[in-house]
Structure 1
Amino acid sequence: MAESKPIHVLQLYPRDMNIYGDFGNALVLQRRLQWRGYEPILHSYDPEDEFPEQVDIIIGGGGQDSGQDKIQQDLLRIGDKLHALAEDGTPMLMICGLYQLFGHSFRTREGREIKGVGLLDLRTEGTDTRLIGNVVAESKEFGEILGYENHSGQTYLGPEVQPLARVTKGEGNNARDSHEGARWKNIVGSYLHGSLLPKNPAIADFLIAQAVQNRYAETIQPQIDAAGSAQPIEELTRKARTTATRRPR
């Protein structure tokens, strides 16, 4: 029997921060880990839950302002633990609402400030303008990134983070600078739903590669083919991405 090699994937606040299908990101990580011979173990964490002892990848999704209110105090409560994991190189993917709260603060349209955990050097301002539609962005690290944005908060990066990508179709972080998302250490922040990872396996494989390197000091293979598939997985992904880029804004 082959040796079991578990990788623990933690989804933060799925009860309140998962309104655009962001759980699909967990499913992609699960399947791509299985295809490479690792055992994915999925955990969920909601306010007042016990934080898992073993965490290899952390993901989080989007939510309304009310959802951010519900999790704010608990997120601050576990902030030191998240900072320590980030410093140790734990890969993380934060989408939309949790992307905002991984920054310093989110000021709502009404002027109320929701304090963030401060892992990413960024701030978000609520506006009356909604940025919505399909997005295409170019990343030096991950190539072409595809997704769907739907947010009225506009995010501005500080000097301690780099943008994830430059937008070629859509808006991204805000309506001014053509930046989408943020990168710091092994953290990826983005406004893109859809879910993000099915359309962008390069980001999924980055998270997996970092987790496997941290846990087992192993390097993953860049290409995968699932047993029983009529076509190679990467070929199916390429066709899906080609179709997605043709969708109108």
Structure 2
Amino acid sequence: MTRELKICHLYPDVLNLYGDRGNTIALQKRCEWRGIQASVTGVGVGDHADLAEFDLFFVGGGQDFDQGTLLDDLWTGGADSKARQLTRLIEGDAPVLAICGGYQLLGEYYLTHTGEECRFIGAIPFHTKGAQQRMIGNLLFTASALPGSPQVVGFENHSGKTFLDAALTPLGRVDRGFGNNGEDGTEGLRYRNVVATYSHGPLLPKNPAVADELLRLALQRKGGAPVDLVPIDDALEARAHDAMAARLS
């Protein structure tokens, strides 16, 4: 098994609400505890990077206007733009964790509640519609699209309602909270090796099973062979997770 992973934090200067940087810290530490070398590189506005050099991608959440400021940068460079590179990598099964605004950016468009349409990168066939009322609060959902169907705890704060095309698989079903849109009971999506969700918190320290699945996918893709991760003592993480899940159940 390869002993090194390169993690890309896309737009850490703009998309980093609610401590989302904690997700890359969790990924790096869970590699370190297993003797796997992991580096995290931020790729921000104006940075030119060959994204194919990375093994795992994280895109966090931002305010609605922040997403708009990123559009020009995403499309700069034609075939080598971040948007085109990321789309190719997604189709090549690169693991991606996308949260809230980062999740929305992977879709086709965002329609604001005033009727303005923002075209996003269109890597995955879904869209988001802005609402006047925000969906805020603790979030609990069963991630049936992940191995073992773990129950995931987090925090959501979004006005956008995301609707998946019929062929897409939601990441899971809402047990408590709003999820994708507060209407159909779905939360997030799983597309190839993309895991997208509205769960802030940050997500991964509270849900180590999700972190390990992303690491497993990245190592497997990089090494070209199935991977079994060395177990870690997650007793404290499990107690914190289970206490919150019990409060929300």
Deviation at 1:223, TM superposition (A): 5.0
Using a 3 Å threshold, how does the CA distance of structure 1 residues 222 and 212 change in structure 2: closer, same or farther? Answer: closer
Deviation at 1:46, TM superposition (A): 0.9
> What is the aligned partner in structure 2 of residue 187 from structure 1?
194
TM-score normalized by the length of structure 2 = 0.91
* C-alpha contact (below 8 Å) 1:121/1:159 kept by paired residues: no
Instruction: Give a deviation string over 1:162-217, Cα, whole Å, max 9, x none.
Output: 10010011110012101000110000110010001111112111111111111123
Between stretches 133-142 and 192-201, larger displacement belongs to 133-142
2:208 partner amino acid: P
* C-alpha contact (below 8 Å) 1:134/1:247 kept by paired residues: no
> What is the aligned partner in structure 2 of residue 127 from structure 1?
131
Deviation at 1:151, TM superposition (A): 0.5
Q: Segments of 4+ in structure 1 off by > 4 A?
A: none
> What is the aligned partner in structure 2 of residue 237 from structure 1?
237
**Mind listing any 5+ residue stretches in structure 2 that lack a counterpart?**
76-80
2:35 partner amino acid: G
For residues 225 and 125 of structure 2, what CA distance do their matches in structure 1 show? Answer: 31
1:237 partner amino acid: E
Percent identity, aligned pairs only, is 36
Structure 2 counterpart SS, 1:20:
helix
> What is the aligned partner in structure 2 of residue 62 from structure 1?
61
TM-score normalized by the length of structure 1 = 0.91
For residues 72 and 160 of structure 1, what CA distance do their matches in structure 2 show? Answer: 26
> What is the aligned partner in structure 2 of residue 9 from structure 1?
7
Out of 82, 94, 99, which is 2:103 matched to?
Answer: 99
Deviation at 1:224, TM superposition (A): 2.6
Instruction: Give a deviation string over 1:112-170, Cα, whole Å, max 9, x none.
Output: 21111112221101111111111111122241111110001111110232100100111
Equivalences for residues 75-90 of structure 1 within 5 A: 75-76=74-75, 77-90=81-94
> What is the aligned partner in structure 2 of residue 20 from structure 1?
18
1:136 partner amino acid: L
CA RMSD in angstroms comes to 1.8
1:163 partner amino acid: P
Aligned length: 240
Instruction: Give a deviation string over 1:19-75, Cα, whole Å, max 9, x none.
Output: 111101100100111112211111111122021451100001111112101111222
> What is the aligned partner in structure 1 of residue 78 from structure 2?
none
Structure 2 counterpart SS, 1:174:
coil
